[in-house]
A and B are shown apart, each in its own frame.
Chain A
Amino acid sequence: MNENSKDTRRARTWGIVFLVFAALMLVLFLPGTTGSQRTTFAFDLELSEALPIGSLTFSTQGGLYLLVVLAVFLGAWQLAKGFKQVYLILGVVVLAFVLAFLTWAARDNSMNMTGMLQATLLRAVPITLAALSGVMCERCAVINIGIEGMMLTGAFTSALIGSLTQNVWVGLFAALSAGGLMGALLAVMAIRYKVDQIIAGTAINILATGLTSYFSSRYLQSIPELNRPPTFVQLPLPVLSRIPIVGPVLFTNTAPVYLMLILVAVIHVMLFYTRWGLRTRAVGEHPQAADTLGVNVFKTRYVNVILGGMIAGLGGAYLVLSSVARFDENMTAGRGFIGLAAMIFGKWSPIGALAASLIFGFADSLRTNLAILRVPIPSQFLLMAPYLVTMIVLAGVVGRANPPAADGQPYEKQ
């Protein structure tokens, strides 16, 4: 009975939340509009293979009313009958809110939706790879604060080796090796010498920043031939790339982007549905128990941390070989740390990490579009958006995120 009434109360709370969203749309967006204003959402990208579908122009107020009605309906239904998949409906309501925001922001103006979605995915790639690196390490109880440094090393190596060989794949392989080496360094410090893992990771960041900055200013910047790596070309998937919106966003990408998506799926399956995954998680939760059952704790940790380093190296290589075609000091600009946040946000699961990174990527690309549309929100606040979103989602939806039980503790064989 008690359980039951708690459930009803929670269902009611969500209903009210949906209605609040509807009210916010009315209060925030409607007053600034007039009946004659039109919003245009464009969907076609230049130089894309997708079939052109033109753009959608509609009355700003009409669009807003439609979205408000949708949110009111969902809220009322939730209050009266309740949805089974309440989080899914929450997603729909939040989406309606974001769409209302964009409808308002693009009044008497236009904005390219496909372009924004494409930027969302591309901005999420390095963050996802950083988060995946974190998942690999922390699932077996090694905290990796050094992801930023590993990415930087990967970026530097891919630029240097890529330039020397003029081959993207060799550059990518070099970045993986360099990242793996940094991972091995962390592993030796954390596992063999039981150095405090936060300090070991920080040492890696300082080392990587120092080394790459020094060699960059000494050689890469003064000898341009050493800093001119080739870049991955876009590989549009046949047929799929011709689908409007989805084609340019998902199926017209470079190899590292596909590789990232495949890695997320593979690691997710490996971690939760294979023996290796079970062992890794056991080592992360209760190493003594795993050891008793014959799992080699040290070996598992070494392998995972080195793999984690390689994934971080891939993240660095992406920034160079698939984005800007050069190395510059500190070019990772904190993505390794954002990746750590995405890992926690995604509850230490690869798919969760991807979802969290996409939210960061969306917030990033959204703020660029909003600033172009001259939304009267100071750019400093727009820059805060990804972090605000994290806090709200963490506090409101994800709830408590529990790290692996043995996270950060060195293992001492009894």
Chain B
Amino acid sequence: MLKKLWVLLSLVLVTTMLVGCGGGGAGGKLKVGMVTDMGGVDDKSFNATSWKGVQRAIDELGIDGSYLESKQQTDYATNLAQYVNQEADLIITVGFLLADDTADFASRYPDTNFAIVDFGSLGDNVRGLTFSTDEAGFLAGYAAAAATKTGKVATFGGINIPTVAIFMVGYEYGVNYYNQQHGTNVEVLGWETAANDGVFVGNFESTDDGRRVAETFMNEGADVIMPVAGPVGLGTAQAVKERGNAWVIGVDTDWTVSAAEYKDVILTSVLKNMDVAVFDTIKAVQADDFAGFNGENYVGTLANDGVGIAPIASGAVPAGISDELEQIKADIIAGKINTGWAEYSASLE
């Protein structure tokens, strides 16, 4: 019996040691803790980008920053509690799915500052960091429609939540705008704003799902695919790379840098500069005249470079498309073009 216990105990100890290697602390500095969503801090997606913002603050502002990874949804509250107990000055939660737990902790600990990526403010002491990703998705959709040779472009998501769908909404509107401007009939597979539904794999982890969905899209004739599902999209990139006659559109960061092995098949990337928002928030809290968030929101747009698209692969689209995209960007900033957000939010109600 004792032996059994030892075996189990040692297993559990080793595991917790390895899993819990996030923390660290020093006195005097601003203490910032980041709680990730399930993809983990190296998801090459929103967790990784947010963490990049904290890292930049560590380097440039000399703060004391650390992260805790959530392996499942029940970890959110545990990780938040850990930072509250460590008396962190600012707790950053990454992702729409953490909203409930963040709101709960923010109301229980009104003296702690919170910031949540991908959600609006949840109280006086919470800063919401949101992004008008539909604006950037619109540009990507326009580029995709210009690049397709089959007349079909595709997109799919991890789970149907607004922060994922907003990419796809902009994408569809961008394709439609291209059709309007050029008299073409490019079709979008995998998303329909009017129905508020499309192709979803149901998770943000299974790269194999990303590959299989990509193969199905290509078998149905699509030759540009935008996966909005974190690391799952890397499986898509692998399938496209092997097939060799299609394009992938990266999301969140510039994939020609973060997933360089696939750079030959990456048409462009929809950039959602969460690192800028996170850094900006840490800087605000560290400032001497910081007097609480008062429930404010940071909204990343094309205008403030909170969102954007990466350079388009050379030779992928006809000359002149770049100029058109510049013009469209200016028009979106000026409010002359509808990127679909209003229709999408209406369909949610």
Contact = CB atoms under 8 A, between A and B. Distances in A.
A115 B215 contact: yes
B212 A119 contact: yes
Contact of A210 (B18, B160, B189, B198): B18
B219 A112 contact: yes
A45 interface: yes
B238 A323 contact: yes
Residue among B189, B198, B211, B260 with max Cβ neighbours from chain A (10 Å): B211
Given A203-B8, A210-B18, A122 B212 contact: yes
Contacts of B319: none
Contacts of B69: 213
Interface residues of A, number: 58
B123 to A, nearest CB: 30
B338 to A, nearest CB: 22
Contacts of A47: 243
A194 interface: yes
Contacts of A331: 205-208, 231
B244 to A, nearest CB: 9
Given A333-B209, A371-B200, A195 B7 contact: yes
A115 to B, nearest CB: 3
Interface stretch (B39-47, B108-116, B278-286, B289-297): B39-47
Contacts of A323: 207-208, 211, 235, 238
A389 interface: no
Contacts of A115: 215-216, 219-220
Interface stretch (A265-273, A352-360, A374-382): A374-382
Nearest to A196: B4
A228 B219 contact: no
Interface in A91-120: 110-112, 114-116, 118-119
B85 interface: no
Contact of B195 (A114, A326, A330, A374): A374
A368 B212 contact: yes
B99 interface: no
B189 to A, nearest CB: 5
Residue among B195, B211, B220 with max Cβ neighbours from chain A (10 Å): B220
Given A123-B212, A203-B12, A325 B39 contact: no
B15 A206 contact: yes
Contacts of B231: 328-329, 331
A343 to B, nearest CB: 20
A214 B19 contact: yes
B197 interface: yes
A319 B235 CA distance: 10
B91 interface: no
Contacts of A195: 4, 7-8
- Of all A-B residue pairs in the complex, the 4 with the closest CB atoms, nearest first, are A115-B219, A333-B206, A221-B42, A210-B15
Interface of B: 3-4, 7-8, 11-12, 14-16, 18-19, 21, 38-44, 69, 71, 154, 160, 189-190, 192, 195, 197-200, 202-203, 205-213, 215-220, 231, 234-235, 238, 242-243, 245, 260-261
20 contacts: A46-B245, A110-B220, A115-B220, A116-B216, A118-B215, A189-B7, A195-B8, A206-B11, A210-B15, A210-B18, A216-B42, A221-B44, A224-B261, A329-B205, A330-B38, A331-B231, A371-B200, A374-B195, A378-B197, A379-B198
